[in-house]
Amino acid sequence: MKKILLLFIAAITIDNIHAQRMDDVTVHSKYIQAVDEYRPAPGQYVNDVPEYEAGDTEADMIKKCNNNLAGLGPIDSHLVALGGWGGYITFHFDHSIANLPGERDFAVWGNAYQEMKNLVFGGMNEAGVVMVSKDVNGNGKPDDPWYEISGSCDVDSAGKVIYDYEITYRQNPMGDIPWTDNQGNSGTIDRNHYHTQEYYPQWLPDNLTFKGTRLPDNMLNLSDQVEQSFSPYYYVLVGFRYGYADNLPNFSDNADATSYNYKGCGIDISWAVDENRQPVNLDFIDFVRVYTGLNQKCPQPEWWGETSTEFAGAEDIHLDASLQAIENALSGIHAIQQEASSSSPFYDLHGRMVTPTKKGVYIQNKKKLVIK
């Protein structure tokens, strides 16, 4: 029974060994290694941050995102605009990020900031939803199941979050970009005179459709609470407590560029939930996706425009702990493999001697064993 159990564990562990990524590099970086996908929704900064040039392909735009972000922290990186609701970016590090108990595991940086009058919590907070994935199939691509990070809106705004939201944008060259959603609503991403380029991502096809979670509107009109000499209009975007990108300032002290706001911008992998909003247990994650979570625009023309998440990079908050967790996992796998290999030989159903590395039916000591 002990040998069967060991081989069962070995088979499961071998099957998932690639889920612990650790590239062969001299020095591992706590910042992202590369962008895998960049598919923004239309917006006033799209085609400009980064800049689209005639003939650019999706691969070209991903390279430009890498130039802005790869290996860089929030001080040195350049923004990447995700556009209106649903627009996203996917990226990875040069190693898996470990889920440390009770800790925020990685931080996502943006350009949120506190509004000048301190009337509300935040004030320029264009929250993006964060998702995580583990490279279970070991192919180095973000094609395994994705899990959403459940942020504070799931608790603070119960009944106001729209799950399974879907939106489709249509091209309208050099005009307002129309959209329709699966709630029976329609609207536009409006042009303004500050940004004169095309707003629809020019390297992507017409009828862009995005699916996910729509966060509750966070825009407030506080124009009556400020002096007219200061501004005739004063709209703010209130921050959410935790769990989102571009939601809270990168630094806890505006005067101190080393006061990284790991708590406000930090993400705990343990907050991940499945499609039924049930918690999932992930020991490591390999890919992160951020998409704009708000679908709203300021009613005062050219004050805010649409709410669009800007992305400024990400960081493994506990680099050394992630690397040590990977080493521990790999050491455990090797120990199990060695103990399993000392048992009696295994044969497949054709009588060939094999080493069980996947689910199936095997023969050992003239008995049939099923490894699930």
State pLDDT tens for residues 118-172: 999 999 999 999 999 999 988 999 999 999 999 999 999 999 999 999 999 999 9
The alpha-carbon radius of gyration of the chain (Å, integer) is: 24
- Name residue 58's amino acid: E
Q: How far is CA 165 from CA 87, 182, 310, in A?
A: 13, 7, 21
| Position 353 confidence tier, pLDDT thresholds 50, 70, 90 | confident
For residue 272, the enclosing domain spans 34-330
Instruction: Say whether both 45 and 174 belong to one domain.
Output: yes
Q: Tokens 């490591």 identify what position? A: 284
Residue 342 makes CB contacts below 8 A (sequence gap 6+) with: none
How far apart are alpha carbons 69 and 71 in whole angstroms? 6
Q: Crossing angle of helices 319-341/2-15, nearest 10°? A: 140
Instruction: Say whether both 342 and 308 belong to one domain.
Output: no
Do 149 and 2 contact (CB within 8 A), yes or no?
Answer: no
Q: How many domains does the chain have?
A: 2
**pTM to 2 decimal places:** 0.86
Q: Tokens 């979670």 identify what position? A: 213
The pLDDT tens digits of the residues spanning 26-60 come to: 999 999 999 999 999 999 999 999 999 999 999 99
How far apart are alpha carbons 353 and 341 in whole angstroms? 12
- Name residue 89's amino acid: I
Instruction: Say whether both 351 and 241 belong to one domain.
Output: no
- Name residue 157's amino acid: S
Instruction: Say whether both 182 and 110 belong to one domain.
Output: yes
**Is position 322 within any domain?**
yes
Instruction: Say whether both 275 and 319 belong to one domain.
Output: yes
**Is position 13 within any domain?**
no
Dig out the tokens for 297 from the structure: 């625009």
**What is the DSSP code (8-state) at residue 343?**
S
